[in-house]
Amino acid sequence: MDSSSDLFRRLEQLNAIGAALSKERDINRLLESILIAAKTITHADGGTLYRMTDDGRALRFEILRTDSLHIAMGGTTGNAINFPNLPLINDKGEANDSMVAAYAAIHDKTVNIADAYTEAGFDFSGTRSFDARTGYRSQSFLTVPMKNHEGEIIGVLQLINALDPNTREVRAFSSADQSLAESLASQAAIALTNRLLITQLEELFEAFISLINLAIDEKSPYTGGHCQRVPALTMMLAEAADATQEGPLASFKMDERDRYELKIAGLLHDCGKVTTPVHVVDKATKLQTLFDRIQLIDTRFEVLKRDAELDALRKQLALRENVNPGAEDRIWHAYQDEVRALDADREFLRKANVGGEAMKDEDLQRVRDIGSGRKWRNVDAIETEFLTADEVVNLTIRAGTLTLKERDVINHHIVATIKMLEQLPWPKHLTRVPEYAGGHHERMDGKGYPKGLTRDQMSVQARMMGIADIFEALTARDRPYKHGMKLSQAMGIMANFKKGGHIDPDLFDVFVRRGVYRRYAEQFLDPGQIDEVDEAALGRT
């Protein structure tokens, strides 16, 4: 008989266990906690937790414990359980009532057995075989079905060999043991179902995020990798900051929920790019829209060369009545000089179109001179300036390939990101996702966008994402307008950004000191990009 004080103590344990189970996020730890709690509350030496297979036709071993034999399998132990599933239907197509765990699941009924060796109606041959191999004596069994809030059997909790708390001798499971185990099984089933439901919702949510990133990837092969690499690098930096024991970031710590929130923010940091036109995102040259318009300019040069040739031939023909070889030579040489000048201007414009180097003032003026100084006849036979106003604007971009208007379009993606994310009804543990994701283009000196936040107005996580976004962009090898930088060059630029108030200096020190940049490089960069980095020099920059 159980004393009232012992029963009261175990009821208190049951309440505490139920509260603890509801807080556990990891499925393996949750399953393990359920079995250990059941063993503790019933004083059982061993036990097994089974889960229903997805097709509902068998029970799968999840956790197995036998304290006296020091057996611990499944869960967080790393020791896999290789036992076959217990089928609920036998070879004859009948209910597998001979197996006690299967019986409990099939009939939704607790089975309390005082001694397996004398119990009739169940097949304990496997148990006897186990006992023979190990010298164990499996005696009392308590097998409890686990049923969720919808009345579905989701598993079975089986306990073996109840031990007297005082003598440690094996005894039968009492009615109190059974009631407590059934109550625990009910709580555990609900906790497990809730955790599985939350996990499924999280997986669905992350799949939806992947869908957004896939849409961006399909729009532009040059940005899809960015959406995956930035969150990976952000998490590397976050883990390094969390592990820091000294300096300004020594107090920065993250728990599991903090990590998940930052991960989601990283995955969504560029979701607004779904609104950015493809021809702007992929603008590899200054004249590119849906196609590279330098081809139109090439055609115009060919038209001018043809016109120059025709003009020279006409002038030569006009001299044929009065033969003048010298004059004809001068005409032809002038034509060849004109062709060379046209070829030189064409080559200059083609080089300017690439946008690989910053243009000097004299180069910008030469574009304008070519545009207005040369004339050509368009398809309507109207003489017009060689370059349109829009072409001049694009070809006089001093650095890069984007006009100011196009940069505004690109920069708008972060506004769109914030607007999109702020529309979502975030649960409490994800409320900071919009702030983290929306701050990666801000600067420590307040000169960033879209809000012009300063360092003190930003979270550490948003500052991390800013470093990750910049470093990924510098080293990315899949951009249409540049090659991925060498590691040393990228780190040199990052050091200048630190000095110039662009990025967080403390986080950059962690980025360098804890080798985050090199771990990222080894995982994501081409081997040819990875060279030696003088970390001491970075500190002096």
What does the pLDDT look like over 34-72, one tens digit per residue? 888 889 889 999 999 999 998 999 999 999 999 999 999
User: Does residue 286 register a pLDDT over 70?
Assistant: yes
The reported pLDDT for the residue numbered 171 is 95
Q: What is the mean pLDDT of the chain?
A: 87
383: confidence class by pLDDT, cuts 50, 70, 90:
confident
Q: What radius of gyration do the chain's Cα atoms show?
A: 37
List of residues 6+ apart from 205 with CB closer than 8 A: 264
The reported pLDDT for the residue numbered 9 is 66
| Number of other residues whose CB lies within 10 A of the CB of residue 265 | 27
C-alpha 162/C-alpha 44 separation (Å) is 4
C-alpha 134/C-alpha 140 separation (Å) is 17
Instruction: Give CA torsion, residues 511, 513, 252, 266, to 10 deg.
Output: 20
Q: In the chain, what's the furthest Cα-to-Cα distance?
A: 137
Instruction: Give CA torsion, residues 86, 87, 90, 93, to 10 deg.
Output: 170
Of 30 and 367, more confident: 367
Burial class (CB in 10 A: 0-12, 13-18, 19+), 172: middle
Of 297, 37, 397, nearest in space to 188 by CA: 37
Of 271 and 431, more confident: 431
The reported pLDDT for the residue numbered 1 is 46
Q: Are 263 and 235 in contact (CB under 8 A)?
A: yes
Mean pLDDT of 256-276: 89
Of 78 and 21, more confident: 78
User: Does residue 456 register a pLDDT over 90?
Assistant: yes
Q: What is the pTM of this model?
A: 0.65
Which residues are paired to 385 by β-bridges? 375
List of residues 6+ apart from 499 with CB closer than 8 A: 541
Q: Which residues of 62-74 are buried (b: 16+ CB within 10 A; e: fewer)?
A: bbbbbeeeeebbb
The reported pLDDT for the residue numbered 115 is 94
The reported pLDDT for the residue numbered 211 is 86
Of 534 and 484, more confident: 534
Q: Is the peptide bond before 84 cis (omega within 30 degrees of 0)?
A: no
Element (H, E) at 385: strand 383-385
C-alpha 534/C-alpha 541 separation (Å) is 11
Mean pLDDT of 260-283: 83
The tens digit of pLDDT for each residue in 81-100 reads 999 999 999 888 899 999 99
Q: Are 243 and 509 in contact (CB under 8 A)?
A: no
CA–CA–CA angle 217, 218, 221 (5° rounding): 55
List of residues 6+ apart from 69 with CB closer than 8 A: 46, 134, 136
